[in-house]
Amino acid sequence: MNQIELIRALPKAELHVHIEGTFEPELMFAIAQRNQIQIPYQSVEEVKHAYNFHNLQSFLGIYYAGANVLVHEQDFYDLAWAYFEKCAEDRVVHTEMFFDPQTHTERGVEFATVLAGLKRAC
């Protein structure tokens, strides 16, 4: 077993991860389309390109663009479930997941909606 295989095989912990920051471009684009919410990207490729951020502000731009598409319980479920699937693939056996409720409640999304979707995915 080489070093890469060993690292892949080892169980891992992921500490202090904000679930909104785990949004994969394909899922962000799909949820935006499902909810008919405009994002400043015309394609999945543009979203992927935006993930090449260079500073905090460019990261926050895509972070909030992604957060804005999260409206329904199913959206939060889909986001968390995609993250958990990635965790399983990477052998993450413990995660310390955070979420940003005020980002959503300020947009009129009920706290209970956010929590229900995340809890159901857990």
What's the pLDDT tens digit per position in 95-105?
999 999 999 99
- Domain tally, the chain: 1
Query: Residue 26 domain-assigned?
Result: yes
Q: Phi and psi dihedrals of 92, rounded to 5?
A: -80, 115
Query: Residue 3 domain-assigned?
Result: no
The string of pLDDT tens digits covering residues 112-121 is 999 999 999 9
Query: Residue 93 domain-assigned?
Result: yes
Query: Residue 2 domain-assigned?
Result: no
Range of the domain at 104: 10-121
Asked whether the predicted pLDDT for residue 84 surpasses 90, the reply is yes
Biggest alpha carbon distance in the chain? 51
pLDDT band per the 50, 70, 90 thresholds, residue 53 = confident
Q: What contacts 88, CB < 8 A, 6 or more positions away?
A: none
Query: Residue 1 domain-assigned?
Result: no
Query: Residue 24 domain-assigned?
Result: yes
Contact (Cβ atoms closer than 8 angstroms) between residue 40 and residue 26 = no
pTM, 2 dp:
0.92
